[in-house]
Amino acid sequence: MLKGRFSPALVLSIAALAAGCGASTPPPASADATKEAPKSETPAPGGEAAAEAPPSEEGEGDAEPPEPSFAELRKAAMACTPDENGSLDDCEAFRKWLEAEQAFENGKANPELLKMLGSQDPKERRVAAEKLMQTLNEETADAAKVDAVLGLAEKERDETLGDLFGRFVAGLPLVKVGKIDRAITIAKAHPVSDYTDAFVRVVGFGSTNRDPKVVAYGIEVSKDASASRRSLALNLLGDLAPYFPDETCKVINALRADKDDFVKNRAAERIASIAKCASFTDKLLDDLSTIDVKKNIGFETGMALEKICKRSDLTPAQRSKGSKAARRITDAPTVHTNTRSYTMAAIIGCDPKDGPAYVAKYKNDKDKTIAARAAELTK
């Protein structure tokens, strides 16, 4: 080891390196060298050509500015003032909270959101639930997180939050994480009716919770004392009917005899459009063919005929029966205009050969809506 000394070879190497780097005194410049060099015809790269290049578009190549942090977004959203129903939808900061992505990607903020969901402040619970509806999904949810949500939903008593919590819970992957039984039990017993209504309305929609247990729950709700809840059950069963026809079609058909006119008419409309419920088509057409046209006929009845006549699986006999039923209702001036507007479309759907000419005669009807509809269908 050298101590404060350099070897001769090292000294020579350093000297050579210094010379190579221009450490020695340069020779004086010649007279020619001091003259101004002639300008090149072709500008060097990065020279005049670069200077004369047009400016780039404003913002081109600039990185997107980072979104506000979770804490900043939360603080701004929590400063919003709710309306009389508790909604924050009119607040810009709340909309930015819902639109933000970076602070919430891959569910990284879910633990904090779940803490907010348990707050004593209903506004904070709303802010959390609205965002968790986006971030707690099939990719990020697990049994523990869903269980935590269910525990808080079960305790929720704020009337302005019932619908939100019901929709939120119903959209969770309850079947996937093994929590569908508990979710249904909570919905059955929940004291906030809006919670149960929202749960029934959403849980059968889409593929997330497409399960026999949800079908069984829908069948149970279809017998509820509340007509509005029976109507919700009808929608649930209608959504699931293509996948569980044996269990659902007969229940939907039975609701055509419901004591509530709206439920009864809606049941006819729903079953008419479900090809997997085709075994009930003849009975439905028989009933629609003999309906009392002197009474109020809901527009759903007209929709039912239109939907039947749009189906490609009808037999010639069914098409003939559908066309006759639609003509009978269309020809009754006592029937509401909206209903007749649908049955005119059904005439053409079931009888594309002669139906248009039959409908065309209504282009001069004294009812302007009927006349306009006839013209539209036959143009």
39 alpha-carbon distance from chain centroid: 66
Q: What is the pLDDT of residue 270?
A: 96
Question: How many other C-beta atoms lie within 10 A of the C-beta of residue 231?
Answer: 22
Are residues 199 and 233 in contact, defined by beta-carbon separation less than 8 angstroms?
no
Question: Mean pLDDT of all residues in the chain?
Answer: 88
Question: What digits encode the pLDDT tens for the residues 313-333?
Answer: 999 999 999 999 999 999 999
Helices H, strands E: what count in the chain?
A: 21, 0
State the Cα–Cα distance between residues 262 and 198, nearest whole angstrom.
Answer: 19
Q: Which of 124, 176, 118, 121 is nearest to 148 (CA)?
A: 118
Q: Categorize the per-residue pLDDT at 293 as very low, low, confident or very high, splitting at 50, 70 and 90.
A: very high
CA–CA dist 344, 306 (Å, integer): 8
Confidence of residue 264 (pLDDT cuts 50, 70, 90): very high
Res 107: pLDDT: 97
pLDDT in the model for residue 294:
92
**DSSP label at 79?**
T
Structural contact between residues 356 and 378, judged by C-beta atoms closer than 8 angstroms: yes
Q: Is 241 helix (H, G, I), strand (E, B) or coil?
A: coil
Contact 149, 132 (CB under 8 A): yes
CB 251 within 8 A of CB 237: yes
pLDDT recorded at residue 57: 52
Q: Rounded to the nearest 10 degrees, what angle do helices 212-221 and 227-240 cross at?
A: 150
Q: How confident is the model at residue 276 (pLDDT cuts 50, 70, 90)?
A: very high
Q: By the 8 A CB rule, do 307 and 335 touch?
A: no
Between 101 and 27, the higher pLDDT residue: 101
Question: Which of the two residues, 20 and 227, has the higher pLDDT score?
Answer: 227
DSSP H helices, 190-296, are: 193-203, 212-221, 227-240, 245-254, 261-272, 281-289
The domain ranges of the chain are: 68-135, 279-379
**Whole-number Å distance between alpha carbons of 142 and 158:** 26
CA–CA separation, 333 and 235 (whole Å): 31
pTM above 0.75, yes or no: yes
Per-residue pLDDT tens over the stretch 28-74: 344 444 444 444 444 444 444 444 445 555 555 567 778 899 999 99
pLDDT at 296: 81
